Chain A
Amino acid sequence: MAKSPTFVKDRQELFILLDAVMNKTYFQVRDFAPFEPDHAQVKTYLLEFDWERQKNVKEEIAFLATSLTIPPSRTGKSCVPRITQTSEIGFYCVQWEWRNDTPIIVFLDSATDQKRRFWIAYSLSDAKTLDIIFDRLAMNQPAFDRVWFWPKLLSDTQSRGDFRGIGIDYDYRRFELNSQRPDSTDYLKMQIRGGSHTQLIYQQLQESSAFSQQIVLAKVGLKYWVDRDDLSNFAVEEIKYNGKFTTKGTSFADHQSLVIDMRATYANKIRSIEANHTIMTSNASNYGVDGDPVIFSFEKRPIEDLDHFCSVVFSGRMPFRLWGLSRRAAGTDDGRQITAVDLHTGSKLFFEVFPDMVSMYLYPGACGNTVARFFTNIQQTFSRQVTCEDTNEQRLF
């Protein structure tokens, strides 16, 4: 198992180190497969952070330490990370000593996104523990959220390289009534690794009458070259819907290039949602109303029990993280209106839920990531056939 570095002086030094680990892992897997599951692979995470500008490095570190503190579980204590500033501004080493395990170390690039909003975290530490930490932070720290790669973004990215398998994941049990739950098996988690023939399996599943409505891409694998004329430099990637990249190969630069491209695509989409779909009234829009709601069509799989649907989505729980008061619209059972809060940012939202359609209104300060989170998770927990559009019937994802 590769040893996690406790300190690197800058990103260049880290990239050289990660390049070496990627190469080592790739050749070990190639020459001595099957590879050990706990082998330390290079993990890269795209994260979203609601940054508050700080006066100086000292205050920035204090702010980070607070924002990245793992809250206590029922029996445990909270875990404050040790934050070390490298020689590059905005590039940190974060170290958690959690659950008496080997320290979890992450190198955090908070600076290369212009608005310091979409961070990149690199790590060689145990992936399972790190995933739990990020999930706990996303659940508890209002400033911190994962990104949510929608299925088409995953498949479009996969088509940039050679097919190396897929992960399929759905779990519809959240939306089942309590009485149906005890023995429910309405979930599926599947990982298919392999070359282009796995694409055939995926296509057949999509066309199958038994699976076509559920099959949602949760992970894609690809072999990626920045320069197809130089086939010796590549990255073999596994990209999960929650912004996690696991990689091996011969070129960290190729991996980094893919991460940066996905960050740009994701950030552009989120900013475009915020620009076009935040409802602004009064002075901010010269007494007009700017912005349009986001429309989710449930036509192909209507919501049968609106109250139950609302109790799942607006309870404040993961993965939706939406808190809302649900009201039956006057005089009918047909619709519900929900005055809601996004627990990620504390921003305000309003929803109209009908059996065949959900309208989402974002108000000033709301985050476009909420839309991606809602859409991605509805696909995985309710139906793949839900679509997301603007009011001009143009698909958003």
Chain B
Amino acid sequence: MNKDSFNLMLTNLAIGLVKGHPYLRPTSKKVKALGYRLFCVERSLFCAAANSSKMPELVFYSPKQDHAVICEWTKVSLETDDSDPRKVQQIQSFLSYSKEDLVDRAGMPIPGGAQNSVWLIVTPENLASFEGSITEALERAMLCSFQISGDGGCVSYHQGTFQDEKLADIFKDGISASRIPMGFIPISLDHFSQHKFAELLIQQIVTYIVKHTTEFSNENIGQAIFGEQWPLLGKEKQKGVRQHAAKTLKQLAQKPYLQEWLTRTESQDLTWRVAIPKGKESPASLIKLQSRAQKYMHEKFSGPNSPTYQYDLFDQPEPVDVESE
């Protein structure tokens, strides 16, 4: 389990819980019945007590309960030598958010944030190291662990509670989600898995083909994958994304079975050219590209412990049309 999947799964799980999703019933129905809805995801919020801005993973609130929940999930431990002291400060800041911070400054609707609590989720092995970080606020902070299993995961209660006891009771029962809806946030701003990045990159190339965009740059790929979140990444991360895009595109272009679709250009700004090979303008060409891209993903990422890309089933013949028989 990498950090990306841990954080991304929890973010999507929490969004699914408050927005409602069939995978997460009946828990999501209970949460919705209390009136909870999403306020923000990865948004920087000013904390007056800490005199600084912090970025919780997610905040949700309920006008009905007049209560907000500030969420944080992390895979780090607070006990190892390389643990980040900022993590403790960050949690303390989350515990210091006031109604003024959330409602007056950040614009949380009224009612919604008269009271607030913190939901901290860590890995089972790191639970003990986080106990101390919330001991002085157990009446408004809940510590849970998250373990991935199959397509889903299990959130287990450890200690603490929320200001909204009804919500706390739901979460104290634990959340066993055999499936997690992963389409709300497809990729994390902080860490992304290579296979997901490659999927989104190839998806963008197909979009270019359909829209007859022939040339593009590494920057274009980053903008397309992260959309409106691209400016939020900051220059360093943008650079990292561009480099990763260049590396992945180079690998794709080097595959003999993909070369005809993707080539490097002479231009300095627009570095790549995508094309349906000459004489293959029919949709059959895109079908061919599908099976080859699937093959690339299989070769690159399939393995006993990594996501599997089945490719030998693609590229099957069509049944004969009934009327032509």
> Which residues of chain A from 146 to 177 have any CB-CB distance to chain B below 8 Å in the complex?
171, 173-174
Q: Which residues of B contact A261 (CB under 8 A)?
A: none
Decide yes or no: A288 and B40 within 8 Å by CB, A171-B322, A325-B293 being known contacts: yes
Q: Which residues of A contact B315 (CB under 8 A)?
A: 315
* Complex interface: stretch among A194-202, A263-271, A344-352: A344-352
Q: Which residues of B contact A316 (CB under 8 A)?
A: 283, 286-287, 289-290
Asked if B310 is an interface residue, CB under 8 A from chain A, the answer is: yes
* Alpha-carbon distance between A348 and B208 when the two chains are bound, in angstroms: 11
Q: Which residues of A contact B212 (CB under 8 A)?
A: 142
Asked if A341 is an interface residue, CB under 8 A from chain B, the answer is: yes
Decide yes or no: A282 and B294 within 8 Å by CB, A323-B206, A330-B151 being known contacts: no
Q: Is the CB of A173 within 8 A of B319?
A: yes
Q: Which residues of B contact A311 (CB under 8 A)?
A: 310, 313-314, 316
* Alpha-carbon distance between A350 and B181 when the two chains are bound, in angstroms: 11
Least Cβ–Cβ distance between A213 and chain B, in angstroms: 19
Asked if A122 is an interface residue, CB under 8 A from chain B, the answer is: no
Least Cβ–Cβ distance between B77 and chain A, in angstroms: 23
Decide yes or no: A187 and B322 within 8 Å by CB, A288-B41, A391-B19 being known contacts: yes
List the count of A-B residue pairs having beta carbons below 8 Å apart.
182
Q: Which residues of A contact B289 (CB under 8 A)?
A: 316
Q: Which residues of A contact B313 (CB under 8 A)?
A: 307-308, 310-311
Q: Is the CB of B151 within 8 A of A335?
A: yes
* Alpha-carbon distance between A345 and B209 when the two chains are bound, in angstroms: 11
Decide yes or no: A348 and B228 within 8 Å by CB, A189-B323, A311-B313, A327-B308 being known contacts: no
Q: Which residues of B contact A142 (CB under 8 A)?
A: 210-212
Q: Which residues of A contact B306 (CB under 8 A)?
A: 330
Decide yes or no: A281 and B229 within 8 Å by CB, A326-B294, A332-B151 being known contacts: yes
Q: Is the CB of A343 within 8 A of B210?
A: yes
Decide yes or no: A391 and B22 within 8 Å by CB, A323-B286, A323-B290 being known contacts: yes
Q: Which residues of A contact B42 (CB under 8 A)?
A: 287
Q: Which residues of A contact B184 (CB under 8 A)?
A: 279, 281, 289, 361
Q: Chain B 4-19, CB within 8 Å of chain A: the 1/0 string?
A: 0100000000010001
Asked if B85 is an interface residue, CB under 8 A from chain A, the answer is: no
Q: Is the CB of A325 within 8 A of B150?
A: no
* Alpha-carbon distance between A181 and B21 when the two chains are bound, in angstroms: 37
Q: Is the CB of A328 within 8 A of B307?
A: yes
* Alpha-carbon distance between A84 and B286 when the two chains are bound, in angstroms: 33
Asked if B227 is an interface residue, CB under 8 A from chain A, the answer is: yes
Instruction: Pick the contact of A288: B21, B23, B39, B149 (CB < 8 A).
Output: B39
Instruction: Pick the contact of B38: A289, A307, A392 (CB < 8 A).
Output: A289
Asked if B255 is an interface residue, CB under 8 A from chain A, the answer is: no
Residue of B nearest to A78 (CB): B281
Q: Is the CB of A171 within 8 A of B195?
A: no
Least Cβ–Cβ distance between A304 and chain B, in angstroms: 13
* Complex interface: stretch among B111-119, B135-143, B196-204: B196-204
Asked if A359 is an interface residue, CB under 8 A from chain B, the answer is: yes
Asked if B46 is an interface residue, CB under 8 A from chain A, the answer is: no
* Alpha-carbon distance between A327 and B282 when the two chains are bound, in angstroms: 26
Q: Is the interface of A mostly helix, strand, loop or mixed?
A: mixed
Q: Which residues of A contact B40 (CB under 8 A)?
A: 286-288
Q: Which residues of B contact A339 (CB under 8 A)?
A: 186, 196, 199-200, 202-203
Question: How many residues of B sit at the interface, in one of the four size bands?
Answer: 35 or more
Question: How many residues of A sit at the interface, in one of the four size bands?
Answer: 35 or more
Residue of B nearest to A391 (CB): B20
Q: Is the CB of A325 within 8 A of B203?
A: yes
Residue of A nearest to B231 (CB): A283
* Alpha-carbon distance between A54 and B15 when the two chains are bound, in angstroms: 40
Least Cβ–Cβ distance between B295 and chain A, in angstroms: 11
Q: Is the CB of A307 within 8 A of B20?
A: no
Q: Is the CB of B229 within 8 A of A282?
A: yes
> Which residues of chain B from 237 to 264 have any CB-CB distance to chain A below 8 Å in the complex?
none
Q: Which residues of A contact B21 (CB under 8 A)?
A: 292-293, 359, 391
Q: Is the CB of B41 within 8 A of A293?
A: no
Q: Which residues of B contact A323 (CB under 8 A)?
A: 206, 286, 290
> Which residues of chain B from 271 to 325 have any CB-CB distance to chain A below 8 Å in the complex?
281-283, 286-287, 289-291, 293-294, 297, 306-310, 313-319, 322-323
Q: Is the CB of A171 within 8 A of B319?
A: yes
Q: Chain A 54-87, CB within 8 Å of chain B: the 1/0 string?
A: 0000000000000000011010000000000000
* Alpha-carbon distance between A317 and B179 when the two chains are bound, in angstroms: 29
Q: Which residues of A contact B297 (CB under 8 A)?
A: 325, 327
Q: Which residues of B contact A174 (CB under 8 A)?
A: 318-319
Q: Is the CB of B19 within 8 A of A327?
A: no
Asked if B207 is an interface residue, CB under 8 A from chain A, the answer is: yes
Asked if A22 is an interface residue, CB under 8 A from chain B, the answer is: no
Q: Is the CB of B307 within 8 A of A283?
A: no
Least Cβ–Cβ distance between B22 and chain A, in angstroms: 6
Q: Is the CB of A327 within 8 A of B211?
A: no
Q: Which residues of A contact B283 (CB under 8 A)?
A: 139-140, 316-318, 343
Residue of B nearest to A309 (CB): B313
Residue of B nearest to A307 (CB): B310
Decide yes or no: A287 and B43 within 8 Å by CB, A316-B286, A339-B199, A391-B20 being known contacts: yes
Q: Is the CB of B228 within 8 A of A284?
A: yes
Decide yes or no: A189 and B309 within 8 Å by CB, A335-B151, A339-B199, A341-B207 being known contacts: no
> Which residues of chain A from 317 to 373 have any CB-CB distance to chain B below 8 Å in the complex?
317-318, 323-332, 334-335, 337, 339-341, 343, 345-348, 350-352, 354, 357, 359, 361, 364
Highest count of chain A CB atoms <10 Å: which of B41, B43, B206, B323: B206
Least Cβ–Cβ distance between B230 and chain A, in angstroms: 9
> Which residues of chain B from 77 to 120 have any CB-CB distance to chain A below 8 Å in the complex?
none
Q: Could you name 28 residue pairs across A and B whose Cβ atoms are closer than 8 Å?
A: A139-B283, A282-B232, A289-B19, A289-B185, A292-B19, A307-B310, A315-B315, A315-B316, A316-B283, A316-B287, A316-B289, A317-B283, A325-B203, A325-B309, A329-B151, A330-B148, A330-B306, A331-B148, A332-B150, A335-B179, A339-B186, A346-B206, A350-B182, A357-B22, A361-B184, A391-B21, A391-B22, A392-B20
User: Interface of B with A (CB < 8 Å)?
Assistant: 5, 15, 19-23, 38-43, 148-151, 178-179, 181-186, 195-196, 199-200, 202-203, 206-212, 227-229, 232, 281-283, 286-287, 289-291, 293-294, 297, 306-310, 313-319, 322-323
Closest 3 CB pairs of A and B: A361-B183, A346-B210, A287-B43
Apart from A289-B185, A325-B297, A327-B199, 11 more pairs, CB < 8 Å: A140-B283, A284-B228, A288-B39, A292-B19, A326-B294, A330-B150, A332-B151, A339-B196, A348-B203, A354-B179, A359-B181
